[in-house]
A and B are shown apart, each in its own frame.
Chain A
Amino acid sequence: MQTDIFHDAVRQTAWAEGMPHQRFVFVPQPVMGKSSEELRAYIDGDDPITGRPVMEEVIDALTQPLSDTERQAVRFDRTTPRYAEAESEAALRQLFMENHWTDYMPIVLPTEERVQEMLTGTSHRPDEVVGRLRPTSTREAWQFDVEKVAINAVMAGAKPSYLPVILALAASGVTARGSTTSSAASMAVVNGPIRHSIGMNWGIGALGPYNHANATIGRAYGLLSQNLQGGSVPGHTYLGSMGNNYAYNSLTFAENEERSPWEPFHVQQGFERYDSTVSCFTGCRATSYLLGLRQSHWETHVQNLLRGLNPHTPPTLILDPITADLFVERGGFDTAEKLEQWIWEQATLPASVYWDYQLIQNYVFPRAENGEKPWADYLNAPPDALIPMFRREDVHVLVVGGETNGYWRIMGCNYNRTVLIDDWR
């Protein structure tokens, strides 16, 4: 049983999983939020795709013998042609758009000459396998090599010197084009000496369109994700209901290590200061913000921000150095770990409110029932008891910005992993 809006997506998934004639029955979208009576009406009604009665289709799907078509051996032509050709440059650009290979902004066409030049940015062979990507954990993963990453880097307008960062992002296995209905985007944070050598921005406007490296590395991360995973096409391989403007650049910036009062993020994750790394975060949907930390009620102000987050998506604090210093001054947080611990302690909700969130019902409650900690420990909490909104290990802190003011924000997102860029030089 599926809802009708996912008709194309489930057919495509079944096809890729080797059962192209899997029998589905569709009911209207949404199921969420409907009463028992309304859902019974769906069941008593017609399949919006076929127009046939839903339960007649269900019984038929379970009892009708397999047809000759359903018994046929599956044969798929699954090759990827090496070239794309057209009669003019304009026609070739149009072809790239029609194939959903772009982000609908102008691209640099990846000619062989340009890709060869991009490949001078790494010592790795063009045919070396870099990794695999998929739009979501239940979809098939596509494989790609160094040349394929370089092609997408050219399209994004990147320089060869950025290629090791882009290869590291591709090797992370973390897509920047997740298919989730929640329209989540990704975030990429660069640490270490390469920030200087390729001219990234961690100061004024670092998260905005004001730096070539930040802009094109982030764009390349998005383009390579959609193309190397086999697509990010609305209704098929992308199902974000609203979409997300963050996805144009995947929130790509460098950390302001020089002005942070704490160890750089990659050092907190076990790397050395002299390592160059990129860290991938997913689930970026929304931010909340404050200016500074007031003397009297700063703790309450932070608590209010935290309770505005969805408890399914943990907080990463993105702090201008001015506010990072204020956290040290106000709270005595002389390490990032101490601040993260305090943040985790402040983020609580009454148990009955926490468990009633839709995403907690979908993604956390079933895991708690399975005995997964820490959530299993909260199952028997009294309705009014305050329980943590997040796991301690999911709370993070980053420092970025040019100190024009002490604005700071909380990004609801999930830290996935940090990849060593030096492996891809």
Chain B
Amino acid sequence: MATVRALNPMGYPPEVEQVEMAPRFDSLRDKIVYLVDARFDDSDIFMQQMQAWFRDNRPDIDARYVAKRGIYTQPDPELFARIRDEGAAAVVGVGH
């Protein structure tokens, strides 16, 4: 059977470069975990409640609430460097 053919209207995607995932600690006991407020739609209240959960359920973990600077699409190099230097892990939220 004959085929009907047209040109594909899609553009050309960029190459994807793999980003390595960070190794994990076996335990977070006595370590600092940053709870990063991404600054969107009441994420500050959410992340503060997560900090309260850590206080109630895992007081052995030093869970610190921090609000990133700038809007949610902007990087915060100063904060990211602090997390890298001082923290064991970070939870970023709440995305959409």
Contact = CB atoms under 8 A, between A and B. Distances in A.
A6 B92 CA distance: 15
B16 A74 contact: yes
Contact of A151 (B7, B16, B53): B7
Interface string B49-74: 11011000110000000000111111
Point out which of B19, B58, B88 has the most chain A C-beta atoms below 10 A from its C-beta.
B19
A59 B91 CA distance: 10
Contacts of B58: 59
Interface string B23-46: 111111000010000011111011
A381 interface: no
B69 A370 contact: yes
Given A1-B46, A62-B24, A85 B4 contact: yes
B4 A6 contact: no
Interface stretch (A139-147, A272-280, A333-341): A139-147
B25 A18 contact: no
A10 B95 contact: yes
A5 B46 CA distance: 17
A142 B96 contact: no
B11 interface: yes
Contact of A55 (B42, B53, B89): B53
A379 interface: no
Given A2-B94, A31-B94, A62 B28 contact: yes
B11 A39 contact: no
A197 interface: no
A86 interface: yes
Contacts of A151: 7-9
Contacts of B28: 59, 62-63
Given A2-B94, A39-B46, A62-B24, A84 B8 contact: yes
Contacts of A133: 11
Nearest to A24: B95
A70 B94 CA distance: 23
A100 to B, nearest CB: 10
A112 B4 CA distance: 11
B90 to A, nearest CB: 9
Given A80-B12, A87-B1, A133-B11, A64 B24 contact: yes
Contacts of B81: none
B13 A85 contact: no
A127 B66 CA distance: 48
B9 A137 contact: no
Contact of A1 (B19, B33, B92): B92
A111 B10 CA distance: 14
Contact of A78 (B15, B41, B53): B15
Q: Is the interface of B mostly helix, strand, loop or mixed?
A: loop
Contacts of B73: 137-138
B14 A366 contact: no
B46 A31 contact: yes
A254 B81 CA distance: 50
B49 A32 contact: no
Given A1-B94, A16-B16, A230-B13, A366 B4 contact: no
A81 B8 CA distance: 7
B84 interface: no
A70 B21 contact: yes
Given A16-B16, A66-B21, A80 B96 contact: no
Nearest to B52: A40
B85 interface: no
B13 A110 contact: no
A416 interface: no
A101 B10 contact: yes
26 contacts: A1-B91, A2-B93, A2-B95, A3-B95, A19-B18, A27-B46, A32-B42, A33-B42, A42-B46, A66-B24, A78-B16, A80-B13, A82-B7, A82-B8, A86-B3, A87-B4, A91-B4, A142-B10, A143-B11, A143-B14, A144-B11, A152-B9, A227-B9, A230-B13, A366-B69, A367-B71
Given A31-B43, A83-B7, A148-B10, 20 more contacts: A1-B50, A1-B93, A2-B95, A17-B16, A17-B19, A27-B46, A30-B41, A31-B46, A31-B94, A59-B58, A62-B25, A63-B26, A63-B28, A78-B16, A80-B10, A83-B8, A91-B4, A101-B9, A223-B9, A366-B71
Interface of B: 1-19, 21, 23-28, 33, 39-43, 45-46, 48-50, 52-53, 57-58, 69-74, 88-89, 91-96
